[in-house]
Amino acid sequence: MWSEMRASVAEKYMKGSGNSALPLTHCCQRSGRWAALSGLAALAAGLTIVVSGTASAQVVSNPPLLPQDVTVFPERDFTSIAGFAPNADVLVQVRRGGVVSDAVGRTDVSGFLEVNHPGGVCWRNVTPDIVPADVVRVTYRDTNNNRSLNPVPVKDSGAATTTQNVTATQAYDAGNNTVVVKGKAQLANGTPIPLTRLEVRIVNPEFIGAPGSRIGKRDIRADSAGGRIDGTNGNPIPGTRGALAYDGTTSSFTAIFSGLNADERLLVVEGQTRVMGWQQTTANGDRLGMTIYEVGALGGPGIGGCPPGPNGVVPPQNPTSPVPYNPAYLLDAAVPANQGSLKDVTVFPERDFISIDGFAAGSELQVVVRRGNSNAPVIGTARGIVGRGGLFEVNHPGGVCWTGQTPDIKPGDWIDVFKVYNMSFNSGQTQQVIDTRVAKAAFVTTLPTGEVVVRVNGTAKNSSGAPLALALTEQRIINPDFNNTRIGRRDIRADTTGGRVENIPGATGRLLRTGDANSPDWRAIYTGLNATEQQLAVAGQSRAMAWHSTNGNGDRFGMTIFEFGEVGGPGMGGCPATGSASIAIPW
């Protein structure tokens, strides 16, 4: 799995001030694995080498010693690991007396790895339900790969974090110009966690730029020192405060955000409430052994294809029947005359995931997946309310699940999206999933001219099986490490006009037909990349994008995005397993 933003937990949570919070999930910008970390990565790699090169014992530090970091997100059964040796094989265990579950994976070039989160690896055999006092332990494995590293990591050495017992309820407007969060933070002996090792954050990207909002960051914070509510100039907003205190001598706490206007208080209540508790603070303010409790987050498998939780899978059932409607009344995204009324609907068939943008906040949406022309064509349904930002997602963290079963979305399926008003059909649109795919991911090859290039092979067909016009196709390679090269952005693109390879004079991304005019096959060829950039392209994720129509402004309607290497099925914990049942459309 791939994220579009690399958000290092080490950068964002270990320091006590000045760092923005991990963003909430958003289509094509999922939080987690990727961020431009050249400085931190170099520091982490350098310090790891010193530690590994001098270690003479199999030491596992709990809490972790810098630069190593193990952060636990118990509500999502997710762990983020940073500061280990680059490209090293590690074993991750959840221990509760014995080993509850484990995972194996290889860190990236910055020493970063995630478990049970898009962009990372799955837990093996069972996704553990991580609870307070569980120890998440990360150690180096004895593998041929690790023995080839210089220096060689010490087998079974590493770091561990003990999951802290921190919980909270969602923020609420207390009615006296304040927003309040109630929670609990308790040590294993029943006494309160020291207040200096706690922080409450409200995360809402809509803080930035929303009408009436003076807040200039994605989050606001409450702690024992008065917290931080920053304005657009990066300084605290005068008169604001985020106070955190225990309720008497108990382990229950109250966080009070004050000095906010009515618009800001509404944004706070709509955001995600988080409580952070850690095991130790260094003299420099670094936080070691971090646990982040996220109100409302769901546990279980965090990636399609990961094993079920200890209570097993949610078995598939028939999809819930949609509200009565007639697909003939929906606007087809393939018809140019409909473009002015269409919203942005993007289908990710490899992940059985749909992203919808542009409907008014508060609208109730019905999403239906149809296959074929039988009397029972409906294989997937979902329904929910559009959030304040106008984004609505199905089968993706932060969104809603498919009902009954997760449909295995395939080319040719129809995706119906429409508004529901008083439990009745209102208005909406439809689009067919395009048969576009990457046949061979990025590889380095030499042209007859002797030029060394990066190439991707793929195919794109229209609904009748004929070649889709190349003008309705684009190929992209995603690797946020491109940010640390001449390219300076996370992706490179190939299309019929020469594509987009930023900041390299003369570099191109050409999309060409392979074979004659009757062939649906294409090839993307990237020129002008140096050896490092070529290897990053090979290591990146290859995607094929295709759409039904384009307007004069270049807007694309009816988008399908094929992601090489992705796995379908439930996209988040609690969603039902993949099924093949179908039901009729109610009229």
Q: What are phi and psi of 38, to 5 degrees?
A: -55, -45
pLDDT digits (tens, 9 = 90+) for 185-204: 999 999 999 999 999 999 99
**Strand order in 473-478's β-sheet?**
391-394, 353-357, 344-348, 559-563, 541-546, 473-478, 491-494
Q: Report the pLDDT value the prediction gives residue 568, as an integer from 0 to 100.
A: 86
Between 423 and 438, name the one with better pLDDT. 438
Question: Per-residue pLDDT averaged across 338-362, rounded?
Answer: 95
pLDDT of residue 311: 79
Return d(Cα 489, Cα 500) in angstroms, integer: 11
Is the N-terminal amide bond of 67 cis, ω within 30° of 0? Answer: yes
Higher local confidence (pLDDT), 47 or 344: 344
The pLDDT tens digits of the residues spanning 368-380 come to 999 998 899 999 9
Instruction: Give per-residue pLDDT as tens, 69-78.
Output: 999 999 999 9
Compute the mean pLDDT over every residue in the chain, rounded to the nearest whole number: 89
Please calculate the CA angle 146-147-151 and round it to the nearest 5 degrees: 85
Q: How far apart are CA 120 and CA 106, in angstroms?
A: 9
**pLDDT value for 3:** 35
Can you tell me which residue has the tokens 């559009």? 386
CB 195 within 8 A of CB 255: no
Virtual torsion, Cα 567, 572, 578, 579, nearest 10 deg: -150
The CB-based long-range contact list for 47-51 (8 Å cut-off, 24+ gap) reads 47/83, 48/83, 48/84, 48/85, 48/86, 48/111, 48/153, 49/85, 49/151
Is 36 a residue whose pLDDT tops 70? no
Q: Locate tokens 């702690």: which residue?
A: 223
pLDDT over 70 percentage in the chain: 90
Q: How confident is the model at residue 579 (pLDDT cuts 50, 70, 90)?
A: very high
Helix (H) or strand (E) holding 272: strand 272-281
Report the range of poorest mean pLDDT among 22-36, 147-161, 215-229, 359-373: 22-36
pLDDT, one tens digit per residue, over 50-96 is 333 333 456 899 999 999 999 999 999 999 999 999 999 999 999 99
How far is residue 514's CA from residue 6's CA, in Å, rounded to a whole number? 34
Length of the chain as a residue count: 587
Q: Tell me what pLDDT residue 8 has.
A: 38
Please confirm whether the linkage preceding 63 is cis (ω < 30° from 0).
yes
The pLDDT of residue 422: 82
**pLDDT of amino acid 57:** 59
Is pLDDT at 19 greater than 90 in this prediction? no
Q: Could you give the angle at the alpha carbon of 547 between the alpha carbons of 544 and 550, nearest 5°?
A: 130
The tens digit of pLDDT for each residue in 124-183 reads: 989 999 999 999 999 999 999 999 999 999 999 999 999 999 999 999 999 889 999 999
Q: What is the pLDDT of residue 296?
A: 86
pLDDT > 70? residue 411: yes
- List of domains in the chain: 9-164 (no CATH), 172-270 (no CATH), 435-546 (2.60.40)
Contacts of 71 (CB under 8 A, 6+ apart): 9, 10, 13, 79, 80, 81, 82, 161, 290, 291, 292
Q: Between 208 and 49, where is the model more confident? A: 208
CA distances from 131 to 78, 255, 291, 466 (A): 11, 23, 11, 53
Tokens of 238: 């005068």
Please indicate whether residue 16 or residue 516 has the higher confidence score (pLDDT).
Answer: 516
Mean pLDDT to the nearest integer, 252-280? 96
What pLDDT does 544 receive? 98
Indicate whether 284 pLDDT > 90: yes
* pLDDT top residue among 308 and 253: 253
Which pLDDT band, with edges at 50, 70 and 90, does 566 fall under?
confident
- pLDDT at residue 113, as a whole number: 97
Residue bearing tokens 């609505």? 392
Report pLDDT digits (tens) over 483-540.
989 999 999 999 999 999 999 999 999 999 999 989 999 999 999 999 999 999 999 9
For residue range 287-344, list pLDDT tens digits in order. 999 999 999 888 888 877 888 888 777 789 999 999 999 999 999 999 999 999 999 9
CA distance 399 to 118: 15
Token duo for residue 316? 């598939």
**pLDDT score at 301:** 85
d(CA 138, CA 265): 40
Residue 446 has pLDDT above 80, yes or no: yes
Q: Is it the case that residue 21 has pLDDT exceeding 50? A: no
Q: Give the up-direction half-sphere exposure of residue 42: CA atoms within 13 A in the CB hemisphere.
A: 4
The one-letter code for the residue type at 9 is: V
pLDDT at 424 over 50: yes
- Range 410-432 average pLDDT: 93
Concatenating the DSSP letter of every residue in 74-143 gives: GGGTEEEEESS-TT-EEEEEEEESEEEEEEEEE--TTS-EEESSTTSBPPBSS-----TT-EEEEEE---
Q: How many CB atoms lie within 10 A of CB 575?
A: 27
